[in-house]
Amino acid sequence: MARRRDLADQQRRLSAATWSVLAERGLPGLTLRAVAERAGCTTGMVLHTFADKQALLVHARELLHRRTGKRADAAQAEADTPRAALRAVLLQAASPTDTKREEARVWVGFLAAALADPVLAEQHRAYNRRFVDRVRGLVAAARPDWSPAHCAASAISLVALVEGLNALAAVDPTTYPAEAQQVAIDAALARIGEDGESGGRTKG
């Protein structure tokens, strides 16, 4: 049991160090040596957990997914209606604060790296599709009168809007501040409307 606790503690330390380095230095600065220095251990200890730089990158991308996923779970659980849950999930996925813009910059870095790395690309697609599936389910709950195809199309549009805002706000928060992001999301949600309102496509 003591050995397992030691390993678990080591993994937590390395995970915390990985995110700290990533947030401070970005993807180019995320190296095995930098993580070891931040964790206060040797590079050999890092290599005992991560076989190489790519394994470290995969872990870092997983950390980002976990952070955002936990917030989405909490936002969804606290909402009292499907529409409120949809809005809450989209707003928490946006980047209105310095901390979230930091995450957005990290996300953009991973997206760029994925263009040349098939492993990171597959990981990125899998996580993005999970987000789309979550939003699709919330759209369907908010508009049960819509067809599955229309719910899916709406989910893709909403996710594209939020991720586009994140990418733009990461480098230009002046043009895309918190208020602008919220207005854009609420405008998109207004087009969805409420169950029973005109403008939606019914199941057929």
pLDDT per residue rounded down to tens, the chain (204 residues) = 545 556 677 878 888 888 888 878 888 888 899 999 999 999 998 888 888 888 888 988 998 899 899 999 999 999 999 999 999 999 999 999 888 888 888 899 889 889 999 999 999 999 999 999 999 999 999 999 999 999 999 999 999 999 999 999 999 999 999 999 999 999 999 988 754 443 344 333
Task: State the architecture of 55-192 in CATH terms.
Answer: Orthogonal Bundle (1.10)
Burial of 131 (0-12, 13-18, 19+ CB in 10 A): buried
Q: Read off the pTM.
A: 0.83
In angstroms, rounded to a whole number, what is the distance separating the alpha carbons of residues 65 and 23? 14
> How would you class 185 by CB atoms within 10 Å of its CB: exposed for 0-12, middle for 13-18, buried for 19 or more?
buried
Contacts of 194 (CB under 8 A, 6+ apart): 83, 142, 143
> Domain 1-50: which topology?
Arc Repressor Mutant, subunit A (1.10.10)
Domain ranges of the chain: 1-50, 55-192
Question: Helices 2-25 and 98-114 sit at what angle, rounded to 10 degrees?
Answer: 90
